[in-house]
Amino acid sequence: MTSVTHEGVEHIADTIRAARARNEPLRIVGAGTWLDAGHPCADATRLDVSSLTGITRYEPGDLVLSARAGTSLADIAAATREHGQWLALDPLGSADGTIGATVATGSCGPLASAFGTPRDHLLGCEFVTGSGDVVRGGGQVVKNVAGFDLVRLVTGAWGTLGPITEVTVRLRARPEVDRTLAVALDAEPAETLWRWLRESELTPLAAELLSPSLAAALAVGNGTVALIRLGGNETFVRAASDAVGTLGVAHEVPSSVWDRLARAESAAALAVRVSALPSHAESLWQRALELIAVTGGYAHATCARGVVRCVAPTEGADIDMLRTALLRLADGVSIVGERMPAHLWPALPSARSTRDLEARVRTAFDPAHILNSGVLGA
């Protein structure tokens, strides 16, 4: 691959080299919608990558698209929709969010149920290391095992190995029919939905369980509601709709409900995900309900992945109460913080056995530890 370096990328590389020489910490900023997600961070100079915008290569016949990191997901959606295609990735938050930040934070949404997380969509990327080297991992083809996988490495690394400047993603053809059904679930809703997903051969694009508070806010029903998104040809979607009917009385809701779900939370809210084996979905769900009973807010679950996400207001909240509630939520299961008040981050338990390896990776790519210092641990 010949490297065509954007002028802006060279500028970023110069900035990083200069900062390294001065030992000056940098905070990487795209659209700024997530930024440090509340991590306790040292004072840092902002390294603004938001000017790196635009789709650099899009050949619809290849179902592959390359874009500079600051390109918004909305712009990518608009460009691909024209050709009946999409990037099947729906991270929660505003559509003004950028593709670079989505990849850097490893963010995904309900569609991950069928299509996976950013690591499953990314084919290539360009980033600038903490030494100011411009690195291009992966490529522009859908299958590629050449060299060590730098692409997976920077996905979800929160910019700590270097700001991402360009990405290449795999696209998919939009389904012929895309229909969303809402169905209210009573007792053991997560268990019911998980079991249905396990046993039905009609795999949906997404199946998200909503707490009563969220279902009410989205006006999709009373009580706990499953939102099930079906995609495929008409015959498939009809059969799948019938199958959803076995869960209870289902009614169709506009597809825009997914955008409303993504934007339901305020940028100030606390957001954490707990996860376990999918067969434990119900116990996770009950814990999440206990949390929001204390904190307010709402929960939603991607049952196929065994992931429950809790969103709670923090304005005027009692931090000690939040801390206690979070610890109870996380007891014995995996917890990943998305966004929290700074003083809550240290409370999150972490059972990673790879801290030492990770620290060495970080030092290898950012020897002076100037990039997003404080994010992903010290």
Partner 1 sequence: MSALRSRLAAIVGDDRILTRTGELRSYEADGLPGYQKRPSLAVFPGTRDETVAVVRVLADTGTPYVARGAGTGLSGGALADDVVLLGLHRLKRIISIDRDNARAVVEPGVVNSRLTAETRRFGLHYAPDPSSQTACTIGGNVAENAGGPHCLKYGVTLNHVLALTVILPDGTVVTLGSPNGEQEGYDLLGAFIGSEGCFGVVLDATVRLTRDPAAIRTLLADFSSVDAAAQAVSAIIASGIVAAALEMMDANTIQAVEASIYAAGYPTDAAAILLIELDGPAAGLEDDVARVIQFCRSAGARDVRVASDPADRARLWQGRKKAFGAMGRISPHLVVQDAVVPRTKLPAVLATIQRIATEHRVNVCNVFHAGDGNLHPNIGYNADDPDEAARVHVAMTEMMQACIDAGGSITGEHGIGLDKLQYMDRLFTAPTLEAMCALRAVFDPDRRSNPGKVIPIHSCSEWRAAPSVRAAAVR
Please tell me the distance from the alpha carbon of residue 328 to that of residue 378, in angstroms, as a whole number: 24
CB of residue 136 to partner 1, shortest distance in Å: 5
Q: Please name which of 155, 215, 164 lies closest in space to residue 185, comparing C-alpha atoms.
A: 215
- Residues ≥6 apart with Cβ < 8 Å to 369: 130, 362, 363
Q: Give the distance between the most distant pair of CA atoms in the chain.
A: 64
CB of residue 94 to partner 1, shortest distance in Å: 23
Site for partner 1, residues 169 to 188, rule: CB under 8 A: 172-176
Site for partner 1, residues 314 to 333, rule: CB under 8 A: 333
Q: Going by DSSP bridges, is the β-strand pair 122-128/164-170 parallel, antiparallel, or unpaired?
A: antiparallel
Q: Please name which of 155, 76, 114, 111 lies closest in space to residue 262, comparing C-alpha atoms.
A: 111
DSSP state string for 26-70? EEEESSSSSTTTT------EEEE-TT--SEEEEEGGGTEEEEETT
Q: Which of 78, 239, 268, 293 binds partner 1 (CB under 8 A)?
A: 239
CB of residue 172 to partner 1, shortest distance in Å: 7
CB of residue 223 to partner 1, shortest distance in Å: 26
Comparing CB distances to partner 1, the nearer of 198 and 328 is 198
Should residue 217 be labelled a site residue for partner 1 when binding is judged by CB under 8 A?
no
Identify which range of 68-76, 207-215, 287-295, 352-360 contacts partner 1 by CB under 8 A: 352-360
CB of residue 52 to partner 1, shortest distance in Å: 18
Identify which range of 33-41, 42-50, 112-120, 207-215 contacts partner 1 by CB under 8 A: 112-120
Asked if residues 171 and 55 have their Cβ atoms less than 8 Å apart, the reply is no
Comparing CB distances to partner 1, the nearer of 79 and 215 is 79
Should residue 6 be labelled a site residue for partner 1 when binding is judged by CB under 8 A?
no
Site string for partner 1, 59-98 (x = CB under 8 A): xxxxxx-------------------x--------------
Comparing CB distances to partner 1, the nearer of 213 and 334 is 334
- The encoded tokens of residue 192 equal 């019911």
Site for partner 1, residues 132 to 151, rule: CB under 8 A: 133-137, 139-150
Comparing CB distances to partner 1, the nearer of 153 and 216 is 153
Should residue 32 be labelled a site residue for partner 1 when binding is judged by CB under 8 A?
no
Should residue 276 be labelled a site residue for partner 1 when binding is judged by CB under 8 A?
yes
For residue 299, the surrounding DSSP H or E stretch is strand 298-302
Asked if residues 30 and 98 have their Cβ atoms less than 8 Å apart, the reply is yes
Site for partner 1, residues 187 to 206, rule: CB under 8 A: 198, 201-202
Asked if residues 90 and 98 have their Cβ atoms less than 8 Å apart, the reply is no
Q: Which of 44, 76, 157, 220 binds partner 1 (CB under 8 A)?
A: 157
Site for partner 1, residues 290 to 319, rule: CB under 8 A: 306-307
Should residue 33 be labelled a site residue for partner 1 when binding is judged by CB under 8 A?
no
Comparing CB distances to partner 1, the nearer of 45 and 350 is 350
Strand partners, 19: none
Asked if residues 274 and 240 have their Cβ atoms less than 8 Å apart, the reply is no
Size of the site for partner 1 (CB under 8 A): 81
Please tell me the distance from the alpha carbon of residue 234 to that of residue 205, in angstroms, as a whole number: 15
CB of residue 328 to partner 1, shortest distance in Å: 17
- How far, CA to CA in Å, does 150 sit from each of 1, 49, 55, 350? 15, 20, 22, 24
